[in-house]
Structure 1
Amino acid sequence: MRSAPSEEEDRERRRRILDAYLADYERRKGPFSQQEKERAEQLLDEVFAEEERLAAESLRDQPPITKAEPEAILGYGPDGV
């Protein structure tokens, strides 16, 4: 089983995605200034930070799953009824 990517690996993956997007945009529309590239990086970091915060809040607010709960969700008991 593969472990979750480290924060550094995740950040590098996001950076590669942004670089590919910006390169494509520049081919179609023209060059970006360095300031615009830095702002795009900052916005991407902010978006992912907010996503991580919301995911953590969502998990924190969920009650723990009990042993009986999966059966109730599936609509049948341990004996298959």
Structure 2
Amino acid sequence: THTLQYIADITAGISYTVGELDGEQFVSYGSNVTEMILKTEWIKKIDADDPNYRKREKDRMSDDHGELQKLLTQAVDHTK
């Protein structure tokens, strides 16, 4: 059994996500960087085998960040 988690930290204007497999960080992406950072050899091999992996995952995380930013704004506005 394995555990795959994506943990997002969203603040006003800044978003950051890390991916973990069994507690080991294998990828990170933040709104202040232009591409995903691959942290393990096995994820680098997946990236080498699938040329679209990095762009596809970056786009997905970027879209998630946008949606989470909207939810954060709605929550903050609701508490005013």
Larger radius of gyration: 1
Q: TM-score, normalised by structure 1?
A: 0.48
Q: Write 1 or 2 for the structure with the bigger share of strand.
A: 2
Q: TM-score, normalised by structure 2?
A: 0.48
Q: Write 1 or 2 for the structure with the bigger share of helix.
A: 1
